[in-house]
Amino acid sequence: MLSAKEFKTTTIIEGKGKCGFDVSGNKALVAWNQCLREYDLIEHKKTAETVLESNILALAFHPLNSQVFAIGDMRVDTYDDIQMTAPSLIVSLTGKAIEIKYNKNGKIMGIASEENSLILNRDNKISRCKPGHDGMILSCAFDPKDRFVCSIGCDGCLIVYQLSQVPQLLQRYTISKQVSPDAFQKLQSDFHPSGNSFWIAGKINAQYILTYEEPQDLQQQYQILHQSEICIIRWIHNNCVGSCSQDGEIKLWNFKSFTDLSLHWYFNIKCTPLYMKIIQNLFYLFDCNGNLIETTLDPPLQEVETIYKDKNIAFRDLLNQKVKKQNNQRIEEEQLGDENVEENIDDLDGFIGGNEKEKKQKQNLDSGMQDILRPGETQPSRGRQYLCYNTVGTIILCKNTNMIEFEFFDSTFYKRFKISNSQRYAIGTLNYRGCVLASKGPNDLDEQGYLVGDGKSIVFFQQFIGDVDDFEFSLPEDEGAELVTIGNDWFAIMSDHGICRVISFCGLEILEFITNRAIVSMCSYEHLLCLVFHDTSPMLNQQVLKGRIYDIDLQKQIEEFDIFLTPFSSLSWIGYSDEGLLSIQDSKGAIRIYQNNKWIEVCHNSKFWLYGIQDYKLCLLKTDQPLASMKQEMVQQSFEQQFVCFSQDEKLIANYRQFLTQLIILNHEQYRWNEFGKYYYARNDDKQNDILLRYTQNLYDSNKMEETQKLLRKFRVDLFKQILNESKDKAIEFFRCHIKDEYDMNSIISLLELQKEKQTSNKELQKLLTHIKLLQRQQIIKQQQNFGIDKKPQSPKRQGFGLQKQNDQVNMNQIKSILEHREQQQQQQHQQQQHHIQQYQIQSQRAETQQEEDEFNPFAKSANKKQSSIFDIGEKRKPTQTFGTQNIKKKN
């Protein structure tokens, strides 16, 4: 420890009280007693002064431009001169600004105010960090790498946000009891230059500060000691941190680790410091009495600097060592003969060769079998973990908030959302059709515990496109989920018992089989399911893996193949491309595709992390493994097949490499058409049949008559057989015979309109929709005639995501007119009924007289019969309801 430090004191303001202070270059700004002063640090004199409207506490220089500064009271403005002639408004506040801070490059401004949320200004766009504090904010700090920002409020809580377009809450800590807003000493924090930890000082306790490394770990360190409460903490270098206490004691610490801190130098200013600023080798303090304290800064030297303090001496020592070594070798060679020297060389070569053999033998020792690999899953980082990372989106497990976040790269497809992780899901996957989550079983318990309820493994499914409701179910007891994957209309679960279950999106188990091998990984594409398993135990440190492909539609195995990895590596990723091309990546960075019963290496780079293939391009991340707490840099790279070429023509080599890539694409497209194309039309027909069956059931369910429910139970099996046999005519006849007119029109139309938006190719359903709408229109007309309303019904307008009816506003005059019109119609109907009765009596009398005449004239009777048989052919048919047409006949 060095002796006490010497310092120089200069009075800037006369008096005591709250003030704002900042230093940039060779000038300092002080906001005090409704005035703003500029002070020259070289000449130690006041250079300018401006009167302010109020007493301002928030003041900050731009880190890259000393001419620009920001001040704030009830609003925050930026200026480029001390006269404040051209203000630039940043934001208007509902309370006073307490502190203003810039990030390292000055692109982001943080504003702590009496509002309960931290305000960020980025490119003149204001965002508020939600959720906020329970009260005013005292201070804020930015991560040097622009990943996080933290704020401390008078509620004694520290909140860490992740810097993004919309700031996201990362963690909340209660570090102190509630602090009074009137207290002058503020809780202050500062990040380590590496950005991996932050330190907090203030009204916490008398003799310690807190450090932050991981969001779930808040460690208390007692290495920095003061006789009173610590009020300021500032990092100077990676190995140097400064602290100030309320009694005026200033200390500089040599930081080697969190448990190894030593005092470098100290001094005491006999007054409470308010601000600490460090510019190059100068150390500035501003105390509560208005004094500016200046001293030189000599931080502790790093290990390299202490060893090579004097470069000339170090270089001279190195030369002396080399000269001594050369002299010793020359003396030994002169003393020994040539034969002895050769024998020594041979012995040395044998010794080196023996060591190399031992190393190879150690490397060739059998290693353990590879554990379960979940493609797209990463290790936890700062309480966040990727459960799935693919070309569709990501699933992030937030252990701190007990939530699961779903993010999609295409925001137009689906918006970002969160769900509660009440079932402790730890496995997940997603594609464009849906997502699957699963919790581990009782056999995989760890320190945190994945035991749910009675110890069963819970599986959750949510569909993104379709009308299937979310559902969850549990696996049998003592059986836990290990792997999940999702296909076109099904998903598969692999348990720790080696049982693979295939579940449809409707929740029915359509296939179950046992692998009888140790499973490594699993992936899927459309109707294909690929399993990777250990064929034998590892040999010569080489994993012996095989793969099987199952056709879920045919419910059988169609192919089995070997999986080749780079020697002394393991499988790190497996999956299908968007075009159905099976690909793998090993731990050495080699990426291979499977085509024509062989593996082709298309890339080799250990610094990239593969997460999918789109449009025959590799989707890579520039990292060994992505961290859920940081943004990832994505790269798309074309296939680069390795080959041997003795030509030096770069253009020829580039053309040949492009030819190999095009050949891979062409071969796969041919295979894709031959294998997948023949199932395409069959799968579309199955989907249409499934839609027809689903809406048949909806129509029956909407009709609440007991007879219809009985018919549904009776003819369900027959309908399945008819549809599976592709006899659509019988299914249509089934519609005609068993669907009644008494079902709920509105519910059926809403269902059919929803289906019409998704499946526009089904013409029969569109005809059914128009047919039902015609029926509904006729029913509405009948009702209007009964109530005396002749207006046509207005069609409901689409607003948002549903159908909303327009509410017509009817006043009293309209009601009176309707009632009067209804009375007139009733009188007219009564008169018409009497008139019809009279006509009916007259017609009956004529019919009786005509019948008497026919009895006496048999020729006229036969002629009338023939005439009626000719003109009544179309009228004697029974009324029918035709499916898909608009011709409706009614009984009179």
Give the Å distances, CA to CA, from 770 to 378, 698, 764, 824. 52, 17, 10, 36
**Amino acid identity, position 298:** D
Distance between CA 301 and CA 307 in Å, rounded? 9
Q: What percent of the chain has pLDDT over 90?
A: 15
Helices (H) and strands (E) in the chain, counts: 10, 53
Query: What is the mean pLDDT of the segment spanning 21-26?
Result: 84
Q: Which residues of 9-27 are buried (b: 16+ CB within 10 A; e: fewer)?
A: eeebbeeeeebbbbbbeeb
Distance between CA 800 and CA 813 in Å, rounded? 34
Q: What percent of the chain has pLDDT over 70?
A: 63
pLDDT at 705: 44
Both structure tokens of 338? 């040539």
pLDDT at 679: 54
Distance between CA 693 and CA 765 in Å, rounded? 11
Angle at Cα 891 formed by Cα 887 and Cα 892, nearest 5°? 120
More confident residue, 92 or 452: 92
Helix (H, G, I), strand (E, B) or coil at 52: coil
What does the pLDDT look like over 267-283, one tens digit per residue?
777 788 888 887 777 77
**Amino acid identity, position 627:** L
Cβ-contact 306, 297 below 8 angstroms: no
Candidate ranges 214-218, 687-691, 742-746, 823-827; pick with highest mean pLDDT: 823-827
What does the pLDDT look like over 690-699, one tens digit per residue?
555 555 555 5
Query: What is the mean pLDDT of the segment spanning 331-335?
Result: 65
Residue 28 — pLDDT band, cuts 50, 70, 90? confident
**Amino acid identity, position 217:** D
Distance between CA 839 and CA 845 in Å, rounded? 10
pLDDT at 766: 60
Res. 762: pLDDT tops 60: no
Cβ-contact 242, 250 below 8 angstroms: yes
Residue 525 — pLDDT band, cuts 50, 70, 90? very high
Give the Å distances, CA to CA, from 634 to 167, 387, 390, 430. 21, 18, 12, 19
Res. 137: pLDDT tops 80: yes
Q: Phi and psi (nearest 5°) for 57?
A: -105, -30
What residues does CATH 2.130.10.10 cover in the chain?
384-588+625-632
What does the pLDDT look like over 164-199, one tens digit per residue?
777 888 878 777 655 555 443 456 777 877 777 777
Res. 223: pLDDT tops 70: no
Helix (H, G, I), strand (E, B) or coil at 260: strand
223-318 has CATH 2.40.10.480 classification: yes
Of the candidates 283, 277, 279, the residue with the CA atom closest to the CA atom of residue 295:
283
Which pTM was predicted? 0.42
384-588+625-632 has CATH 1.10.730.10 classification: no
Distance between CA 773 and CA 888 in Å, rounded? 12
Res. 726: pLDDT tops 60: no
What residues does CATH 2.40.10.480 cover in the chain?
223-318
Both structure tokens of 331? 């003396």
- Enumerate the β-bridge partners of residue 95: none
pLDDT at 874: 39
Query: What is the mean pLDDT of the segment spanning 189-210?
Result: 64
Angle at Cα 173 formed by Cα 167 and Cα 178, nearest 5°? 110
pLDDT at 869: 36
Residue 239 Rama label (left phi>0; alpha psi -120 to 50; beta): alpha
Candidate ranges 319-328, 397-406, 483-492; pick with highest mean pLDDT: 483-492
Give the Å distances, CA to CA, from 609 to 127, 249, 797, 813. 33, 50, 49, 74
Cis peptide before 879 (omega within 30 of 0): no
- For 323-385, the DSSP string reads HHHHHHHHHHHHHS-HHHHHHHHHHHHHHHHHHHHHHHHHHTSPPPPP----TT----BTTEE
What does the pLDDT look like over 815-826, one tens digit per residue?
556 667 777 777
Of the candidates 182, 191, 187, the residue with the CA atom closest to the CA atom of residue 202:
187
Q: Which residues of 418-444 are buried (b: 16+ CB within 10 A; e: fewer)?
A: ebebebbbbbbbbbbbbbbbbbbbbeb
pLDDT averaged over every residue in the chain? 72
User: In the block, which residue shows the tokens 């907090």?
Assistant: 200
Res. 557: pLDDT tops 80: yes
What does the pLDDT look like over 386-444, one tens digit per residue?
999 999 999 999 988 889 999 998 888 888 899 998 888 999 999 999 999 999 876 55
